[in-house]
Structures are given as structure tokens and as C-alpha cells.
């Protein structure tokens, strides 16, 4: 089974706006991929939901479901690949969690296309959404 890190922007878009990010989260919740995350992604997601959107993260059932099935990777920051530190934490989560994919809407990350063997893709390119059964 493939392992995927969902970037903060994908999680927030799924929770608040739907569309392709929501379809990605639904596929992950269905068990099509193993969700890999870290305290860095969880904290950033919670902070943005609270501070920017005035939403209490604990009130979002889909977020609770996603966190309950996710493998949480713990590590000390170790990469400086991109100038944006939160993007480096996403890459670190993928590296430490041996992810196959990082799913993001972040332009800087998407420009990398891959980091080592980890593919960096947009929600539109998520494999489960592009399989013949969909």
C-alpha cells in the first residue's frame, strides 16, 4: 500500500472547501493509502484553522478521522531544501515516514516534482483519483 503525506493546504482545503482535496482525504480515509503526518503538520493545520478561519480543529469530524488513522512521525527538523520552513517540515515528514507521495497545492513544493524517491503531486494527480474504477 502506498504512503502519502497530505500537506496542510490540502487538509484545510478538504475540510473547508471540498473539491479535489476532499476527494483525496476521502480516498485516504477509505484505506487506499496510508496517511503519514507529523506534529509539525498537525500544529500548522490547527493554527491556521484557528487563527485564519476561526474554526476550532476539534469540531471537524473529518480531521479527527484523518488523524486517527495517520501514522505520526516524530523527528527533529533536519532539512533546508526550500526557503519556506513549513515546506521543509512537510518534506521531512515524507522522508522520515518513507512516503511515496507528498500531496500539496504549494507551488514551491510542486516545482520540486520529487525529493529523492518521493513524488510531489497536486490533488489532481493523486493516484487513487485517477484509477480506472473512479
Name the pTM for this structure. 0.93
**According to the 3-state scheme, what is the secondary structure of the chain?**
CCEEEECHHHHHHHHHCCHHHHHHHHHHHCCCCEEEECHHHHHHHHHHHHHCCCCCHHHCHHHHHHHHHCEECCCCCCCCCCCCHHHHHHHHHHHHCCCCEEECCCHHHHHHCEECCEEEECHHHCHHHCCCCC
Residue 134 domain-assigned (yes or no): no
Residue 10 domain-assigned (yes or no): yes
**Number of domains, the chain:** 1
CATH number at residue 115: 3.40.50.1010
User: What pLDDT tens digit does each residue of the chain (134 aa) get?
Assistant: 999 999 999 999 999 999 999 999 999 999 989 999 999 999 999 999 999 999 998 889 999 999 999 999 999 988 899 989 999 999 999 999 999 999 999 999 999 999 999 999 999 999 877 765 44
Amino acid at each position: 500500500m502506498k504512503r502519502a503525506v497530505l500537506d496542510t493546504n490540502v487538509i484545510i482545503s478538504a475540510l473547508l472547501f471540498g473539491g479535489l482535496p476532499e476527494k483525496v482525504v476521502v480516498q485516504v480515509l477509505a484505506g487506499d493509502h496510508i496517511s503519514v503526518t507529523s506534529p509539525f503538520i498537525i500544529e500548522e493545520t490547527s493554527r491556521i484553522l484557528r487563527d485564519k478561519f476561526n474554526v476550532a480543529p476539534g469540531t471537524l469530524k473529518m480531521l479527527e478521522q484523518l488523524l486517527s488513522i495517520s501514522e505520526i512521525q516524530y523527528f527533529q527538523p533536519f532539512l533546508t531544501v526550500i526557503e519556506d520552513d513549513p515546506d521543509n517540515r512537510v518534506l521531512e515528514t515524507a522522508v522520515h515516514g518513507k512516503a511515496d507521495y507528498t500531496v500539496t497545492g504549494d507551488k514551491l513544493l510542486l516545482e520540486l516534482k520529487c525529493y529523492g524517491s518521493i513524488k510531489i503531486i497536486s490533488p489532481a494527480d493523486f493516484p487513487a483519483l485517477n484509477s480506472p474504477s473512479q
